[in-house]
């Protein structure tokens, strides 16, 4: 769906509405939109929950791409402190479609560590949760054939947009509750998102990602309780013109 300025205030509220009760903070689905051999893409994203991701991708041939990302979240608030570090690697196929569209299909895995310390002003620390994270995912990225230019503040702003769908199988490993071994959990997450890119200068685009996160299993600690909304910057260099 195309980007609508009126939808942005609603998107900004998503991290607040989603809550933070899950031990899993999904990194933004990576959409490098590769078009030819030798092209590379890089991105830096964050959100209001301070979940920050650094991403990169490279086209090793005209249809084979590799991508990787590192995400992290470290907060220390009155009621809880959270530490979440996660990395992903993926390999996939990309192709240029008619009307300047791009289709990408990736698969990969991820590893990480997560910890949450809950507390109250009167009791101090009430609960500590800590675990490793394993993840396997498949993802499809698809750009819209439409591209619009808006004339604002005396200049043209090219805008492109598209969609992505990621399915992930995530497991907690070596889960500990208050320092004691606890039952590990697993879940299957579906993350449909839309993204909008606004060209700022040369190959540098601002990117806004909004979407949903659905957990297919009912779990207490590993559930779809954190937003996939992100905003940041992306750079693509060495690709075919008109494809972003």
Extract the tokens encoding 54. Answer: 């650094």
| Spatial distance between the Cα atoms of 129 and 118, rounded to a whole number of angstroms | 8
Report the alpha-carbon distance of residue 186 to residue 131 in Å, rounded: 12
| Residue 158 C-beta-side C-alpha neighbours within 13 Å | 14
Inform me whether the pLDDT recorded for 129 exceeds 70: yes
What percentage of residues in the chain have a pLDDT greater than 90? Answer: 73
- Token output for 14: 């998503």
135 pLDDT above the threshold of 60: yes
Give, in order, the Cα–Cα distances in Å from 34 to each of 19, 26, 139, 148, 238: 34, 23, 14, 20, 9
Q: What percent of the chain has pLDDT over 70?
A: 89
Strands annotated E in the chain: 40-46, 52-59, 64-76, 80-96, 102-120, 124-143, 148-152, 155-177, 180-181, 186-201, 204-211, 214-215, 230-237
Supply the pLDDT for residue 145. Answer: 59
pTM as predicted: 0.86
Contact 63, 74 (CB under 8 A): no
pLDDT of residue 241: 64
Which of 50, 85, 49, 90 shows the shortest CA–CA distance to 70?
85
The H or E element spanning position 147 is none
Mean pLDDT of 38-57: 95
Average pLDDT of span 97-105: 88
Q: Which of 2, 5, 31, 33 is nearest to 242 (CA)?
A: 33
Region 169-181 average pLDDT? 97
Per-residue pLDDT tens over the stretch 19-46: 447 999 999 889 999 999 999 999 999 9
Strands 180-181 and 155-177: antiparallel
Per-residue pLDDT tens over the stretch 201-221: 989 999 999 999 999 999 999
């Amino acid at each position: 769906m195309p980007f609508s300025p009126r939808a942005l205030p609603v998107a900004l509220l998503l991290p607040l509405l989603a809550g933070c009760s899950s031990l899993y903070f999904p990194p933004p689905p990576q959409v490098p939109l590769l078009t030819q051999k030798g092209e590379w893409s890089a991105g830096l994203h964050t959100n209001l929950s301070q979940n920050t991701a650094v991403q990169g991708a490279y086209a090793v041939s005209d249809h084979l791409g590799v991508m990787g990302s590192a995400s992290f979240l470290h907060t220390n608030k009155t009621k809880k402190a959270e530490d979440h570090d996660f990395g992903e690697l993926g390999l996939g196929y990309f192709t240029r479609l008619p009307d300047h569209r791009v289709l990408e299909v990736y698969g990969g895995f991820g590893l990480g560590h997560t910890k949450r310390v809950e507390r109250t002003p009167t009791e101090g620390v009430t609960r500590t949760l800590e675990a490793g994270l394993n993840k396997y995912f498949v993802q499809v990225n698809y750009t819209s054939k439409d591209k619009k230019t808006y004339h604002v503040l005396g200049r043209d702003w090219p805008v492109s947009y598209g969609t992505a769908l990621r399915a992930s199988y995530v497991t907690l490993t070596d889960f500990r509750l208050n320092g004691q071994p606890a039952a590990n959990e697993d879940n299957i997450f579906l993350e449909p998102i839309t993204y909008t890119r606004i060209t700022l200068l040369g190959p540098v685009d601002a990117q806004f990602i909004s979407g949903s996160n659905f957990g297919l299993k009912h779990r207490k600690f590993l559930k779809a309780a954190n937003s996939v909304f992100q905003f940041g910057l992306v750079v693509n260099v060495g690709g075919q013109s008109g494809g972003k």
